[in-house]
Amino acid sequence: MTETKEDFRAKAAEELLKIKQDCQERGVVQEIKNIREYVDKAGISLADIGTSEEELQTCFKTGNMNAARTWLKRARERSVPWEVDTRGHIRRLAAEASFTLADIGTSEEELQTLYEEARKEAIERRRLKVRDKSVQSNFKYCRSCGKWVEPVNRVFPRGKSALASFGIFMLSGPILGPIILTIAEVFGWRPTEVCPDCKRRDWGKPE
Ligand SMILES: [Zn+2]
């Protein structure tokens, strides 16, 4: 099945819609790349799908600002371990998409304070040996998505067998679920920790 120019035009328009709605850093970078590729393959211009270079730049900026706001929110809520370089992520996004910290409602002082407070808390917790599930970190860095996530357990990572996963999902009640998972384990399908977003097992360190 070969795609026609019309298909590529439709795909470009679809991607454009996505980035005009709520978008985040990684998504917007990829989607802008896709738009350029589809427009190219369709042999049309950005104007033909009702956009422009300026609008793509605006979307790029918005996507990066959204990502920075998410990092800021997490830092304020202390929902990321202090070791995660939240300040670094926010500064990098600001530099890449040319916006200021004030644009997202923060400042160098706040970032520094958030970092120091989170660090102090972590040290204090360690000192008191408090076991608090809510602050205990089991975040892992997903290289596919390029972000820190809380892994989920999955018997079939990478969507290898979507049908089988769906079957288990449909059947997993309090009784059948564990039985099926046990059978799956006997056949060597062990649950692995995968990324909740891309369902991959691509753990690593941020670049
Ligand atoms: Zn992922």
Structural domain includes residue 203? yes
CA–centroid distance, residue 13 to ligand 1 (Å) = 25
CA–centroid distance, residue 198 to ligand 1 (Å) = 4
CA–centroid distance, residue 199 to ligand 1 (Å) = 6
The boundaries of the domain holding residue 151 are: 138-207
- Which residues neighbour ligand 1 (ion) by CB within 5 Å? 142, 144-145, 195, 197-198
Structural domain includes residue 163? yes
Q: Three-class SS of residue 56?
A: helix
How many domains does the structure of the chain reveal?
Answer: 1
Per-residue pLDDT of the chain (207 residues; tens, 9 = 90+): 678 889 999 999 999 988 887 677 767 888 999 999 999 999 999 999 999 999 999 999 999 999 999 999 999 998 888 778 899 999 999 999 999 999 999 999 999 999 998 888 888 777 775 455 444 567 888 998 888 888 888 765 555 555 566 566 666 666 676 677 667 767 766 677 888 888 888 888 877
Structural domain includes residue 142? yes
Structural domain includes residue 162? yes
Structural domain includes residue 68? no
CA–centroid distance, residue 140 to ligand 1 (Å) = 10
CA–centroid distance, residue 151 to ligand 1 (Å) = 9
Structural domain includes residue 155? yes
Say what the alpha-carbon torsion angle 144, 148, 150, 155 is, to the nearest 10 degrees.
10
CA–centroid distance, residue 5 to ligand 1 (Å) = 31
Structural domain includes residue 75? no
Structural domain includes residue 129? no
CA–centroid distance, residue 31 to ligand 1 (Å) = 17
Report yes or no: 79 and 136 within 8 Å, Cβ to Cβ. Answer: no
CA 7 centroid distance within chain: 28
Each as own residue / partner, the long-range contacts of residues 74-82 (CB below 8 Å, 24 or more positions apart, any chain) are: 75/111, 75/114, 75/115, 75/118, 76/114, 78/118, 78/121, 78/135, 80/137, 80/139, 80/148, 81/118, 81/122, 81/137, 81/139, 82/115, 82/118, 82/119, 82/121, 82/122
CA–centroid distance, residue 69 to ligand 1 (Å) = 20
